[in-house]
Amino acid sequence: MIAPTLPITVSAAPATRPGTAGSRPLVIGLDTSLTSLGIAGADWADALRPKGLAGHARLAWLLGEVKDRIKAADLIVIEGPAYGQQLQAGHHERAGLWWAVTHSAWKLGIPYAVANPHLRTIYATGAANPAKDQPREKRARIAKGMVHTFVVEQLGIWCEGPGRYDAADAAVLAAMGYDWLGYPPIPLPPGQRRALDTVQWPEQIPLVAR
């Protein structure tokens, strides 16, 4: 199977262009999922969890909720497709949601960046596989917990209850976008900020970049 081609984007160093004076820009992080879609901004995070919906009805609800929250965004940072999950159940529908969300951003004229899951984890923990010394069957869960801890304890964003890991993932993506624009939420060591170097940042750098 040939993987779908991502939108034309370029990797870039963190933005240093002078921007317009004023308040902090609005960056939205998105971790798309059919059952628990993570969405976050500078100081909040949430998980959109459709109940009793499937197929087109579920896609319509998720897309409507996302579009309402991103319509004023200056930049979106979205987790990239997990190509390793192509043979898993629901992959076809998940891919449709991802393209519907990014197409909506494109139609609204909102630039978006694509970050693969490893980059998100590196930004939060400094390593792509921070739980590699743990038993194989526990690594993914432990790594999710480490990302969640980073969001709660270092970024100071409340993420609890069902969907907390998805909300935390989105919060890290939003933080990466703020950092790239020149508004880092907190100082981080180079080992974590290196994650920004290989994100697929948009060619259209928002005017709010510093």
Q: Are 51 and 63 in contact (CB under 8 A)?
A: no
Distance (Å, whole) CA 60 – CA 68? 12
- Please state the pTM of the whole predicted model: 0.87
Band the pLDDT of 7: cuts 50, 70, 90: very low
Band the pLDDT of 19: cuts 50, 70, 90: very low
What is the pLDDT, as a whole number, of residue 88? 54
Residues of the chain with pLDDT > 90, as a percent, come to: 77
More confident residue, 88 or 2: 88
pLDDT tens profile 63-84? 999 999 999 999 999 999 765 5
Residue 152 has pLDDT above 70, yes or no: yes
What's the CATH number of domain 10-201, 3.40.50.10540, 3.40.50.970, 3.30.420.10, 3.40.50.1100? 3.30.420.10
45 CB-contact burial (10 Å; exposed 0-12 / middle 13-18 / buried 19+): buried
Distance (Å, whole) CA 206 – CA 178? 11
Distance (Å, whole) CA 147 – CA 165? 8
- Domain locations in the chain as residue ranges: 10-201
Distance (Å, whole) CA 130 – CA 60? 36
What is the pLDDT, as a whole number, of residue 22? 53
